[in-house]
């Protein structure tokens, strides 16, 4: 191979990297955690069961847009696509959070590095013969991130509503709260933070402006989002755990592994 | 050997060189820019505080006359008055035109260029970008050159056809035909190949000489190349004894000793304290400055927020005063563990303020010394920073006495007198860089077809000189010689000078000179730093001789020249420029020459009582010119000045 | 505090070369560049290295230290243990000239391809008015000292020589962002950012930001906002439609 750091004219050094630190640890952890999440999410999405434990609905299955969901009184029963859909209803809605995270600027960095090794770490040669980045199909569709941002915001509203529905008891009466309510509320809050810290959001709020001074309100919004944006990576991770744990909580309740501790 | 033909060759790609090149190119000349290191790395990037220009954006009382007065006072009236005048008048235009090329200065509330306070400037005057103004200036000029190249590419199909940067090239000799400049000879660092530029006009913009000193804020390039090239071409240098030691250089760790701590730290509220915690600058305000500086800490502290009704803190005295005061404190045993004093801003300003106003200082101390300047004081001490002296030039045209040879920026002398005010350097570069480029272009026009030719014998001699160190087999290591020179200059011709020490330095230099001729550089011609240093040693030694001999000659203390044996300023010596040239023996020689006399309308800008502190009775006895008042006379002159130069 | 440190320094030229072992004295408070200078002064006078300011302001002494792109003047010896061997090589993305010096002309060519600032035609010098909040974004990018560590670390060209034609690198994509955010620049730079300077090659893996000695947030503040601006212009039918309608009004 005579490309990259081995190209003629460059300093003759055979090793793909001379780094002495454990640069591979971080991409490896990312790889393992993401793989675990994907495995769990795939299993749960296809399981098509144990996603409702009144009054809680798993974030993987909300909103339910086909007729084949279990009855979930009050919770996102908007069966507008009708009855033709035969597979798990989760597959219909997971496209949105999946698309949002797949096109997210942080996740892109994470999976390009840990899954695609392009590059594995800084100043470590990547194993690919050629590279075109996001210039052509399919990766050019990463530019659709802003649309997923809008859809994800709508989903956040729905999941927030789901959390509010948690202020009912299993019989559907309002004015109650359990640990599950808290779990769903935290999940919704983390999703809002993750979504609000998104780079597309930052752009829409004010990043695209040339003159902040002419748009003081948008400038403040941009400033606020910019602050959150600095934590985008952390929020991407905790909100991912949040979703998985919220789903796991509903799964365990539904399996009667324990009963939801009620506050009132 | 590669041979090129140009109209104007600019040696040096710092602020002055780039501004000169841009001007010459805009006058329609074909221009080469020679740059010792990579394009955009010039020492100008180190300038932190800002560019002084009396725009009056922050305090509307400011105008060119106030700036002129400050400059003359700072230079202790040894300045070439005409240069100080042109500088004060033209600086605002030069700063404003940078915005056309994309510079982004910090702004005032109403959207103008913000200006900050600085030592010796009566009003906030320094256009700045945080504390990286020099970088902004160099990048802006670099991008202006790129803009011209893009224009040439569009119009002539060749980007480098009319203005080309020769990066990592060093000029070792200027070539003449008769009296007149005919070209320049040098080598490419990259492969050691020789280059010959045939050009009737050369602009020197090579900066200073700091690398002759051990503790210096200057980078490796500052080896006095332009000074030496001018001398060897028959030009003269003035005021070489006047060297500015910046009061605040880092003193620890040893590897960064000398690196600059910007004066803005003091302008933004930092104070100097000795090891006893005393704010000692109040004890060192000299009589000439007493009326403008606060006498109590309370008054000094009020000045930052209410400068109209309070006098300035003494930390903002001109640099020479502050440097000497620090030197005295350390000598008196009140220094810090590493031999400096404390510069404290941490206890006086909030963390947010410091991070916003002094980001690169924070960065520099954090990463180089592991000191958090928002939490603890800095340790600082004087460092060799700037040479006021330089090539003797005509104030209006920047032409040296050698036809076709121009100089601008630090390498030119006169503008700053015996001491430069902070911020006057960046504006100096712009004002006189432009003038040098303009007049070099005009000189080329006047020559018409009558261009001097390069003599082959001169080229051969220059080649022989350059290859000599490579051909010596058993000579001395250039690094050793360099270290000895630096130690000599630092110890014997440093911030405080004594006759016997300077005399000893001159003897030592005489001993080093023949050793220089026998330097040996091992290795080949491809990017060989040992070889390059061997060649630079010629320049450093020659210029150091000028410095030492002039320092011995001037028997007074003034600005950047302090003689322990003659501690007072002398009105008689104020009338004298010391002119250095190369004598028949190839060594530096110094002669006295009268300083140009200030025009009466400019003298009228000062109170007689102030002038008395600097001038002799007979100078003051001369009747002032009758006029409608200083302002009218000066304004008329501005009209004339800019009218003649506009083109 | 002084000790003898072990160094491996790459020496050679564009044809051949390799790591050479040195043992050299190191004193308290020194940086890697000090040690390289000591090598020059005592053991290898012709060791080629670029440096200027020695204070992290000029961006000349870029190299790779233990495999990571860094400024030699800003790498303190105290970050290494005394028995650690420190390896110094030239930048591995550009052709080497000799020892630690590389040919960085790639960057100067790319710099020349970015159209310079285009102010409004009728605006005179001295009449420029800009708000501090409007200049701050571009000011961050103008902190760049052009050390080219970002250009060097970027895998788009580091690992794929052939991309040098069509990719300008983080430094110059940031320059485009700087001009795009300049409150008085009149040129629409979005299309050329993508089509001529190869913004699409960037996969935002952030190594440019990691190595930036000026701590400029190249990816978050320049490249991603520029990608979003390009999306406005090229990939977002709704924004495109909106701007068409707005213009018609």
pLDDT digits (tens, 9 = 90+) for A151-183: 999 999 999 999 999 999 888 899 999 999 999
Asked if C127 contacts C117 with a C-beta cutoff of 8 angstroms, the reply is no
A83 contacts chain C (CB < 8 A): no
pLDDT greater than 70 at residue B635 = no
Closest Cα in chain B, distance from residue C98 (Å)? 7
With bands split at pLDDT 50, 70 and 90, how would you rate the model's confidence at B615? Answer: very high
- Rounded CA gap, A15 and A47, in Å? 47
Are residues C57 and C129 located together in one domain of the fold?
Answer: no
What pLDDT sits at residue B622? Answer: 63
Are residues C91 and C109 located together in one domain of the fold?
Answer: no
Are residues C55 and C141 located together in one domain of the fold?
Answer: no
Encoded tokens for B612: 């008395």
Asked whether the CA dihedral A246, A248, A254, A258 is positive or negative, the reply is negative
Name B471's Cβ contacts closer than 8 Å, sequence gap at least 6.
none
Domain boundary (C53, C76, C102) is at C102
Are residues C87 and C117 located together in one domain of the fold?
Answer: no
Q: Is B69 a catalytic residue?
A: no
Mean pLDDT of chain A: 93
Q: Tens digits of per-residue pLDDT, B410-453?
A: 999 999 999 999 999 999 999 999 999 999 999 999 999 899 99
Other CB atoms within 10 A of residue C115 CB? 16
Instruction: Give the H/E segment covering residue B580.
Output: strand B576-582
Name B544's Cβ contacts closer than 8 Å, sequence gap at least 6.
B209, B212, B224, B485, B488, B489, B493, B505, B509
C129 contacts chain B (CB < 8 A): yes
- Write the CATH number for C31: 3.10.20.30
- Rounded CA gap, A189 and C162, in Å? 46
Asked if A69 contacts A89 with a C-beta cutoff of 8 angstroms, the reply is yes
What pLDDT sits at residue B631? Answer: 43
Q: What is the full DSSP assignment across A123-168?
A: TS--S-S---TTSSTTGGGGGGHHHHHHHHHHHHHHHHHHHHHTTB
Tell me what the mean pLDDT of segment B380-390 comes to: 94
Are residues C204 and C143 located together in one domain of the fold?
Answer: yes
Strand, coil or helix: B33: strand
What chain C residue is nearest to B36 in terms of C-alpha separation?
C52
Q: For residue A207, which residues of chain C lie inside 8 Å, CB to CB? A: 225, 228
Q: Looking at the partner chain, which of B107, B130, B219 has a beta carbon nearest the beta carbon of C53?
A: B219
Domain boundary (C46, C78, C102) is at C102
Domain boundary (C83, C102, C121) is at C102
Q: Which of B273, B312, B319, B497 is catalytic?
A: B319
The answer, yes or no, to whether the previous bond of A138 is cis (omega within 30 of 0) is: yes
Closest Cα in chain B, distance from residue C129 (Å)? 5
B146–C116: do the CB atoms touch at under 8 Å? yes
Name B636's Cβ contacts closer than 8 Å, sequence gap at least 6.
none
Question: What letter would DSSP give residue B625?
Answer: P
With bands split at pLDDT 50, 70 and 90, how would you rate the model's confidence at B409? Answer: very high
Residue linked to tokens 């224009």: B151
What pLDDT sits at residue B645? Answer: 39
Are residues C125 and C79 located together in one domain of the fold?
Answer: no
Other CB atoms within 10 A of residue B491 CB? 14
B193 contacts chain C (CB < 8 A): no
- Rounded CA gap, C169 and B231, in Å? 44
> DSSP strand E in chain A: where?
52-53, 56-57
pLDDT greater than 80 at residue B641 = no
Burial class (CB in 10 A: 0-12, 13-18, 19+), C166: middle
What chain C residue is nearest to B216 in terms of C-alpha separation?
C53
Are residues C8 and C59 located together in one domain of the fold?
Answer: yes
Q: Tens digits of per-residue pLDDT, B149-207?
A: 999 999 999 999 999 999 999 999 999 999 999 999 999 999 999 999 999 999 999 99
- Rounded CA gap, C218 and C146, in Å? 13
Are residues C92 and C128 located together in one domain of the fold?
Answer: no
Residue among B5, B68, B2, B8 at smallest CA distance from B439: B8
Are residues C150 and C65 located together in one domain of the fold?
Answer: no
Give me the total of CB pairs closer than 8 Å, taking one residue from chain B and one from chain C: 179
Are residues C128 and C67 located together in one domain of the fold?
Answer: no
Are residues C216 and C123 located together in one domain of the fold?
Answer: yes
Asked if B101 contacts B26 with a C-beta cutoff of 8 angstroms, the reply is no
- Rounded CA gap, B249 and B261, in Å? 5
Asked if B134 contacts B44 with a C-beta cutoff of 8 angstroms, the reply is yes
C28 contacts chain B (CB < 8 A): yes
pLDDT greater than 60 at residue B625 = no
Mean pLDDT of chain B: 92
- Write the CATH number for C193: 1.10.1060.10
Q: For residue C42, which residues of chain B lie inside 8 Å, CB to CB? A: 479
Are residues C200 and C152 located together in one domain of the fold?
Answer: yes
Domain limits at C116? 105-248
Q: Looking at the partner chain, which of C160, C228, C235 has a beta carbon nearest the beta carbon of A4?
A: C160
ipTM: 0.95
- Rounded CA gap, B240 and B246, in Å? 17
What φ, ψ does residue B252 adopt, rounded to 5°?
Answer: -145, 145
Asked if B131 contacts C139 with a C-beta cutoff of 8 angstroms, the reply is no
- Could you tell me the CA-to-CA distances from C3 to A15, B9, C37, C47 in Å, in that order? 29, 48, 16, 22
pLDDT < 50: residue spans in chain C: none
What pLDDT sits at residue B647? Answer: 37
The domain total for chain C is 2
């Amino acid at each position: 191979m005579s490309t990259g750091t081995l190209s003629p004219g460059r300093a003759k050094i055979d090793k793909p990297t001379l780094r002495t630190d454990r640069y591979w640890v971080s991409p490896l952890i990312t790889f393992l955690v993401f793989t675990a999440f994907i495995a769990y999410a795939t299993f749960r999405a296809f399981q098509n069961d144990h996603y409702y434990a009144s009054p809680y609905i798993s974030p993987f299955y909300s909103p339910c847009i086909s007729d084949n969901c279990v009855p979930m009184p009050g919770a996102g029963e908007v069966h507008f696509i009708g009855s033709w859909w035969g597979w798990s209803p989760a597959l219909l809605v997971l496209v949105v959070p999946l698309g949002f995270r797949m096109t997210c600027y942080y996740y892109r960095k994470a999976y390009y590095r840990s899954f695609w090794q392009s590059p594995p770490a800084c100043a470590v040669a990547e194993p690919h013969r050629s590279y075109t980045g996001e210039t052509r199909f399919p990766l050019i569709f990463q530019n659709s991130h802003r649309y997923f941002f809008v859809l994800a915001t709508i989903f956040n509203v729905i999941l927030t509503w789901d959390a509010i529905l948690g202020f009912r008891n299993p019989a559907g009466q309002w004015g109650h709260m359990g640990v599950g309510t808290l779990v769903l509320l935290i999940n919704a809050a983390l999703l809002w933070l993750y979504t609000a810290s998104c780079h597309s959001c930052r752009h829409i709020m004010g990043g695209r402006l040339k003159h902040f001074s002419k748009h003081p309100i948008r400038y403040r919004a941009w400033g606020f989002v910019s602050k959150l944006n600095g934590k985008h990576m952390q929020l991407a991770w905790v909100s991912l755990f949040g979703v998985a744990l919220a789903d796991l909580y509903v799964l365990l309740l539904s399996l009667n592994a324990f009963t939801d501790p009620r506050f009132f | 050997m590669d041979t090129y033909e140009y109209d104007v060759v600019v040696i040096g790609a710092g602020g002055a060189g780039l501004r000169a090149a841009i001007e010459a190119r805009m006058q329609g000349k074909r221009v080469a820019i020679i740059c010792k290191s990579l394009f955009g790395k010039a020492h100008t990037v180190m300038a932190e505080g800002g560019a002084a220009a009396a725009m009056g954006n922050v305090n509307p009382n400011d105008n060119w006359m106030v700036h002129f007065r400050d400059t003359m006072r700072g230079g202790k009236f040894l300045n070439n008055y005409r240069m100080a005048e042109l500088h004060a008048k033209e600086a605002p235009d030069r700063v404003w035109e940078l915005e056309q090329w994309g510079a982004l200065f910090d702004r005032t509330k109403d959207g103008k260029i913000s200006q900050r306070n600085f030592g010796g400037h009566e009003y906030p005057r320094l256009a700045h970008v945080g504390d990286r103004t020099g970088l902004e200036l160099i990048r802006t000029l670099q991008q202006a050159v790129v803009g011209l190249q893009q224009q040439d590419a569009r119009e002539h199909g060749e980007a480098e056809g009319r203005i080309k940067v020769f990066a990592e090239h060093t000029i070792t000799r200027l070539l003449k035909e008769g009296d007149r400049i005919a070209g320049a000879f040098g080598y490419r660092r990259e492969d050691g190949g020789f280059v010959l530029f045939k050009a009737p006009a050369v602009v020197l913009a090579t900066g200073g000489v700091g690398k002759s000193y051990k503790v210096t804020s200057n980078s490796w390039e500052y080896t006095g190349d332009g000074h030496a090239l001018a001398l060897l071409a028959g030009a003269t240098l003035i005021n070489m004894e006047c060297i500015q030691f910046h009061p605040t250089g880092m003193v620890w760790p040893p590897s960064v000793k000398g690196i600059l701590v910007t004066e803005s730290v003091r302008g933004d509220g930092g104070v100097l304290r000795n090891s006893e915690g005393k704010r000692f600058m109040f004890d060192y305000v000299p009589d000439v400055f007493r009326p403008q500086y606060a006498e109590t800490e309370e008054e000094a502290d009020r000045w930052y927020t209410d400068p109209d009704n309070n006098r300035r803190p003494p930390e903002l005295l001109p640099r020479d005063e502050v440097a000497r005061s620090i030197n005295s404190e350390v000598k008196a045993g009140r220094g810090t563990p590493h031999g400096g004093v404390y510069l404290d801003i941490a206890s006086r300003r909030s963390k947010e303020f410091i991070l916003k106003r002094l980001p690169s200082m924070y960065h520099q101390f954090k990463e180089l010394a592991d000191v958090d300047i928002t939490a603890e004081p800095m340790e600082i001490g004087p460092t060799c920073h700037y040479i006021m002296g330089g090539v003797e030039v005509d104030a209006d045209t920047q032409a040296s006495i050698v036809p076709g040879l121009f100089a601008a920026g630090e390498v030119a002398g006169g503008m700053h007198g015996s001491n430069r005010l902070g911020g006057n350097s960046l504006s100096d570069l712009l004002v006189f860089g432009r003038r040098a480029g303009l007049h070099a272009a005009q000189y080329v026009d006047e020559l018409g077809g009558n261009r001097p030719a390069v003599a082959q014998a001169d080229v051969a001699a220059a080649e022989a000189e350059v290859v000599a160190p490579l051909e010596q087999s058993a000579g001395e290591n250039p690094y050793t010689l360099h270290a000895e020179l630096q130690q000599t200059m630092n110890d014997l011709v440093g911030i405080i000078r004594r006759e016997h020490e300077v005399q000893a330095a001159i003897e030592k230099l005489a001993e080093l000179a023949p050793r220089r001729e026998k330097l040996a550089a091992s290795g080949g011609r491809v990017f060989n730093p040992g070889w390059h240093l061997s060649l630079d040693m010629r320049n450093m030694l020659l210029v150091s001789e000028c410095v030492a001999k002039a320092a011995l000659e001037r028997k007074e203390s003034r600005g950047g020249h302090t003689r322990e044996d003659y501690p007072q300023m002398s009105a008689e010596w104020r009338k004298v420029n010391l002119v250095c040239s190369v004598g028949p023996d190839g060594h530096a020689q110094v002669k006295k020459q009268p300083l140009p006399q200030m025009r009466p309308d400019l003298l009228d800008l000062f109170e007689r009582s102030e002038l008395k502190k600097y001038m002799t009775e007979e100078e003051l006895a001369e009747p002032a010119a009758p006029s409608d008042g200083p302002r009218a006379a000066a304004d008329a002159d501005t009209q004339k000045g800019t009218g003649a130069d506009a083109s | 505090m002084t000790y003898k440190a072990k160094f491996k320094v790459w020496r050679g030229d564009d044809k051949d070369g390799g790591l050479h072992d040195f043992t050299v004295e190191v004193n308290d408070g020194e940086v890697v560049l000090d040690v390289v200078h000591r090598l020059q002064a005592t053991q290898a006078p012709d060791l080629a290295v670029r440096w200027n300011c020695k204070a992290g302001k000029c961006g000349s002494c870029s190299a790779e230290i233990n495999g990571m792109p860094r400024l030699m003047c800003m790498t303190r010896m105290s970050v290494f243990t005394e028995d650690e061997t420190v390896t110094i090589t030239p930048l591995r993305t550009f052709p080497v000239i000799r020892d630690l010096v590389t040919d960085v002309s790639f960057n100067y060519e790319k710099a020349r391809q970015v159209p310079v600032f285009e102010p409004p035609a009728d605006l005179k010098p001295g009449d420029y008015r800009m708000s501090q909040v409007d200049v701050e974004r571009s000011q961050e990018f103008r902190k760049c000292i052009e050390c080219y560590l970002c250009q060097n670390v970027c895998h788009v060209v580091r690992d794929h020589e052939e991309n040098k034609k069509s990719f300008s690198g983080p430094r110059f994509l940031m320059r485009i962002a700087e001009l795009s955010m300049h409150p008085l620049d009149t040129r629409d730079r979005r299309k050329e950012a993508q089509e001529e300077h190869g913004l699409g090659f960037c996969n935002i893996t952030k190594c440019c930001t990691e190595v930036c000695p000026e701590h400029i947030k190249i990816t978050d503040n320049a490249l991603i906002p520029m990608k979003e601006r390009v999306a406005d212009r090229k990939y977002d039918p709704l924004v495109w439609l909106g701007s068409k309608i707005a213009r018609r009004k």
